[in-house]
Amino acid sequence: MTLADWIGSLGVALLLAAYFLNLVGRLERERRAYHVVNAVGAGLACWASWRIGFLPFVVLEGAWTLVALVALARARS
């Protein structure tokens, strides 16, 4: 696996972990930690998508990163 594969896999794992933890009630979506994990995960997935040249996911993950950052700025602690 390439570095982009590892980074992208970590990013997707973070996104899935945040989603799973929210589903099971361990991480509320209003918490800053939820948005941090989403922003970092999406940012890593975006970077990896850029490295492999897959533009549709650069757009998707870039938008997800921006949304998570806006939510983070508005979130309670």
Strand partners, 76: 31
**Which residue in 41, 43, 23, 33 sits closest to 71, CA to CA?**
33
Q: What is the pLDDT of residues 15-60, one digit of tens each?
A: 999 999 999 999 999 999 999 999 999 999 999 999 999 999 999 9
| Residue range 10-15: mean pLDDT, rounded | 98
Structurally, the chain folds into a number of domains equal to 1
Please check the confidence at residue 76 and state whether its pLDDT lies above 80: no
pLDDT of residue 77: 59
Q: How far apart are CA 37 and CA 42, in angstroms?
A: 8
Enter the tokens of residue 41: 């995960």
pLDDT of residue 75: 84
> Domain of 14?
3-74
Please check the confidence at residue 65 and state whether its pLDDT lies above 80: yes
Half-sphere exposure of residue 35: CA atoms within 13 angstroms, side-chain side = 16
Enter the tokens of residue 5: 């594969």
Strand partners, 31: 76
- Cβ-contact 42, 11 below 8 angstroms: yes
